[in-house]
A and B are shown apart, each in its own frame.
Chain A
Amino acid sequence: MGKVIVVTSGKGGVGKTTSTANLGTALALLGKSVVVVDADVGLRNLDIVMGLESRIVYTSMDVIEKQCELAKALVRDRRVDGLMLLAASQKNNKDDIQPEQMKAICDKLRTTHDFVLVDSPAGIERGFSNASAGADEAIVVTTPDVSAIRDADRIIGLLQNAQIEPINLVLNRFSAQLVGNGSMMDQADVLDILNIDLIGVVPEDSGVITSTNRGIPLVYEDASPGAQAYMRIARRLTGQRIPIPDLEDKGLFSNIVKWFTRNR
C-alpha cells in the first residue's frame, strides 16, 4: 500500500509544482513507483514542468465522468521506470470536482503505486480541499519570506484540522548569501514560526527555470545544488535518514548538531 502526499503551500509561486515534478522523478529514480497528480484544475502546469504536455489524452475529469479508466488516463514518463502523470482538465474549473471524487482517485492509486504526489493549487478554497482530500501526509512548501510563511502557517492549521500527518516542510529558494547579509530569514526563524519537521532546504537555483522551460526536471542534472537537494528529500521520503546539510555553512559542528536533532 502506497502513500498519498499532498504538496501544498497556501501562497502561489513558491515551488509546489517544481517540487512535485522533481520529487516524483527523484522517487522514480530511486526505484519507487510513483504517480504525480495535477490537482490544479483549470490552471494545470505540472505536465509542462514534466515535459509531458504533448502526450496528454485524458485527465482526472475524464476519469470522474467515467469517460475512461483511471489506468488509461495515466501518462507514462518514458525517461524513467515507474513514473506516471495524471493531468488536470484545463477546460474545467475547481468547483467541477468534489473532494470525495479526488479521494476516490487517490485511494485507487495508493493500491498500485508506492507514492502518489498531489500538486495542490494555491489558496485555501476548493482547490486545496480537493488536493488534500485523499492525502495521508503533506509536504508544505514555503520560501523564506513573511507572506509565504504566514500562508504556510494557515495551511498547516487546516492540514492539522484534517488530521493529515506528518506534515513536512520544504524550504525553497533559500539563499545563504541573502541570509548572510541579513536580507533573508534564516532556517531557524522559519522553523521557529512554523514548528513542523523540516524535510529539506532547496537553494535558489537558476537551473530550475531552464529545466522548467525544457520540460526536464532538474533532478536529471546530477551536479546542480537544487537537484541534489531534491534527491536528498526523496531519500528521506523513502525513510532513509540523511542529514540536512547546513546551507548557512556554519561548519561541521552545527551539521552534526542538526543531524542529531532531526533523528532524535
Chain B
Amino acid sequence: MANPIVTLRAYRDGLHLIIKPRLSIAEVEEAIQQEIARMNRPLVGTSVQIVLKSPVLEEEEISLLRSKLQEDYDLTVRGIDVVDDESVSPPIAAAPTTHAISQTTDVRAPRNSELSRIIPHTIRSGQTEEFPQGSLIIYGDVNSGSEVKAGGDIVVLGTLRGNAYAGMNGRLSAVIIAMDFAPLQLQIGNYTSRSPASQESRGYPEIARIGAEDVIIVEKFVKF
C-alpha cells in the first residue's frame, strides 16, 4: 500500500523519496518517519533522490528536510527534482497524461485466458519478436539492439539489455520481468522509461510495472 504523503521507491538510479504537493513541512516529516519505519530493510548509508511534486516546499524547508534525512536516518540526498503536478513523473520516466490512473495497477489481474509464446533462444541485435496476442517468455537474453513486444507480459529468463514493450495493446497491468535487468528502454501500455546509460544489472530478478505514481517502476521481483 502506497503511503499517501510520501513514498520511498527503488528506481533504476536508486531510491526516490516522492513527496506529494501542498503539504506542511510537519506533515512531510511525520510521513517520512512512517514510511521509513515501514521499510523492512536498513537504509543507513544509502542515498536518495527527493522528488517534489509542485507546488513545492519552501527553499529553507527543503534544506531542513535534507539535513533531517542526513542526521536522523543517515540518508544522503543525491539531488532534488521538481516534477509538474500535471504529468507527475520522476525524471527517469515520462508518463503521458492520457492515462491517469489513481492507484497501483493490479499486476495480479488474471491472465488465464491469455496465450503465451515461448522463444527458446537469445534474441540478438537487429532481431524483433512481437506477439500482440499474449505474453512472451524468452529462454535466453534480449540483447542490446533488439526488441521484444507483447500484448501481455514479457518474461526474460536471462538478461534484458534491449528494448521491451509489454501491454502493447494498452493493457496497463502488463509487467516485464527479467532475471537480470539492464534494458535500454521499457514501455508498458503508453508509458515509457529510459534507463540511465551506465546502468548495470543488479544480479537478482527485477520487475517493471506501472506504479502508484503513474510511472514505470522497476523493483526487485518478489513472487506474486
- Contact surface of A with B, Cβ cutoff 8 Å: 124, 146, 150-151, 153-154, 156-158, 160, 192-193, 195
| B140 at the A interface (CB under 8 A) | yes
Name 18 extra pairs, CB < 8 A, besides A157-B125, A193-B143.
A150-B125, A150-B143, A150-B144, A150-B145, A151-B125, A153-B124, A153-B143, A154-B125, A157-B124, A157-B127, A158-B126, A160-B121, A160-B124, A192-B159, A193-B141, A193-B159, A193-B161, A195-B140
B159 touches A156 (CB 8 A): no
B124 touches A154 (CB 8 A): yes
CA distance A158 to B145 in the complex (A): 14
Dominant secondary structure at the A interface: helix
Q: Whose C-beta in chain A lies nearest to the C-beta of B201?
A: A192
- Shortest B120–chain A CB gap in Å is 12
CA distance A193 to B126 in the complex (A): 14
Q: Whose C-beta in chain A lies nearest to the C-beta of B122?
A: A195
Contacts of A192 in B (CB 8 A): 159
A154 touches B161 (CB 8 A): no
The 5 closest A-B pairs by CB, nearest first: A157-B124, A154-B125, A153-B125, A154-B126, A153-B124
From B121, B125, B143, B145, residue with most partner A Cβ within 10 Å? B125
Contacts of B145 in A (CB 8 A): 150, 153-154
Interface digits, B154-171 against A, CB 8 Å rule (1 contact, 0 not)? 000001010000000000
CA distance A193 to B141 in the complex (A): 8
Q: Whose C-beta in chain B lies nearest to the C-beta of A158?
A: B126
Contacts of B141 in A (CB 8 A): 193, 195
Q: Whose C-beta in chain A lies nearest to the C-beta of B124?
A: A157
Q: Whose C-beta in chain B lies nearest to the C-beta of A193?
A: B143
Contacts of A158 in B (CB 8 A): 126
CA distance A150 to B159 in the complex (A): 15
CA distance A150 to B122 in the complex (A): 13
Q: Whose C-beta in chain A lies nearest to the C-beta of B141?
A: A195
CA distance A216 to B127 in the complex (A): 40
CA distance A158 to B126 in the complex (A): 9
Contacts of B161 in A (CB 8 A): 193
CA distance A124 to B122 in the complex (A): 19
CA distance A195 to B159 in the complex (A): 11
CA distance A153 to B127 in the complex (A): 10
Q: Whose C-beta in chain A lies nearest to the C-beta of B127?
A: A157
- Shortest B9–chain A CB gap in Å is 29
- Shortest A12–chain B CB gap in Å is 16
Q: Whose C-beta in chain B lies nearest to the C-beta of A195?
A: B122
CA distance A157 to B140 in the complex (A): 13
CA distance A154 to B144 in the complex (A): 10
CA distance A211 to B122 in the complex (A): 38
Q: Which of A153, A160, A195 contacts B144 (CB 8 A)?
A: A153
CA distance A156 to B144 in the complex (A): 13
- Shortest A133–chain B CB gap in Å is 19
Contacts of A193 in B (CB 8 A): 141, 143-144, 159, 161
Contacts of A153 in B (CB 8 A): 124-125, 143-145
Contacts of A157 in B (CB 8 A): 124-127
Q: Whose C-beta in chain A lies nearest to the C-beta of B126?
A: A154
CA distance A247 to B140 in the complex (A): 28
Contacts of A156 in B (CB 8 A): 124
Contacts of A154 in B (CB 8 A): 124-126, 145
From B121, B126, B141, B161, residue with most partner A Cβ within 10 Å? B126
Contacts of A160 in B (CB 8 A): 121, 124
- Shortest A11–chain B CB gap in Å is 11
Residues of B45-94 whose CB lies within 8 A of A: none
- Shortest B205–chain A CB gap in Å is 16
Contacts of B122 in A (CB 8 A): 195
